[in-house]
Structure 1
Amino acid sequence: MNAQDTNSIFGTADMPPVPPASEEKTMAILSHILAIVPGIGILAPLVIYLVKRNEGSFVEFHARESLNFQITILLAYIISAILIIVLVGLLFLWVLPVVNIVLVIVATIRASEGRYYRYPFCIRLV
């Protein structure tokens, strides 16, 4: 197992060869942090992805990761709501917001450092 495999297991990726510009970092940070604002969770990373995807791979990567993670969280909420019938969903409805906030903060920190970050447990649809 090499360093790349180890990093992908723990939800991180190697440093980019060229550090991203300040504006790229800012947009990458916004794509993560705006995702936890109620009501715009999926919309913010989607808009950033659609507007900035051709301008830089760093912003595109982070916006895509944030969008995929928010879609995964939304699907988990839907499944949890269905599982409320058997009471298991209640536990998930308490855990999901905490997991969402913690992982978004970690991703935001990584983006501010100019590093690529892949969310663990994320369905990659985009």
Structure 2
Amino acid sequence: MEVLDQTYSAKKEGRQLLVITHLLQLLTYVTGFGGLIAPLVKWATKKDEIQGMDLHGKQIINFQITLIIMALVSIPMILLLGLGILMLIFLCFIGFVMPMVNAIKASNGEDPSAFCTIQFIK
């Protein structure tokens, strides 16, 4: 019985760290760059220890890099009838909602969503 409790406890702790890793992306709204750095450090240090961290970490890094590239593309698009402003609003919304959606999926033991993400790291 003790072995089962330790296994369950390890899985629960792993899921909690996955949720925290997803929510660390929201540091972008506080620091401007923490949404990429903090999850990258957490993924690099825990990817071999926690089941699912490698998949979730890769998805987080891919999502953050995609957001950065799309934001850089949208800046010159501001001159084209304001399309860049709409794109920046969309990116802010997606950058705020998707980490929470993926955190809920991680707490349920599901794979993360790859909505609007370019796969740089596979």
1:75 pairs with 2:69: yes
* 33, 42, 56: which one aligns with 2:23: 33
Residue among 17, 38, 56 paired with 1:62: 56
- Do the aligned partners of residues 55 and 94 (structure 1) sit closer, same or farther apart at CA in structure 2, a change above 3 Å counting? same
More helix by share: 2
What is the SS of the residue equivalent to 2:52?
Answer: helix
Match of 1:120 in 2: 115
Shift of 1:48: 1.2
1:95 and 2:90 are equivalent in the alignment: yes
Partner of 2:106: 111
Structure 2: give runs of 5+ residues left out of the alignment: 1-7
Question: TM-score with structure 2 length normalisation?
Answer: 0.81
Q: Determine helix, strand or coil for the equivalent of 2:14.
A: helix
**Between Structure 1 and Structure 2, whose CA radius of gyration is higher?**
2
CA deviation after TM superposition for structure 1 residue 112, in Å: 0.8
Cα RMSD of the aligned pairs, angstroms, is 1.8
Aligned to 1:15: none
Cα deviation for residue 118 of structure 1 reads 2.9
Would the aligned equivalents of 1:45 and 1:64 in 2 still touch at CA under 8 Å?
no
Q: List runs of 5+ in structure 1 lacking aligned partners.
A: 1-18
Q: Which runs of 4+ in 1 moved over 2 A?
A: none
CA contact (8 A) 1:107 1:119 kept: no
Q: Counterpart of 1:42 in 2: which secondary structure? A: helix
The count of aligned residue pairs is: 109
- Percentage of identical aligned residues: 27
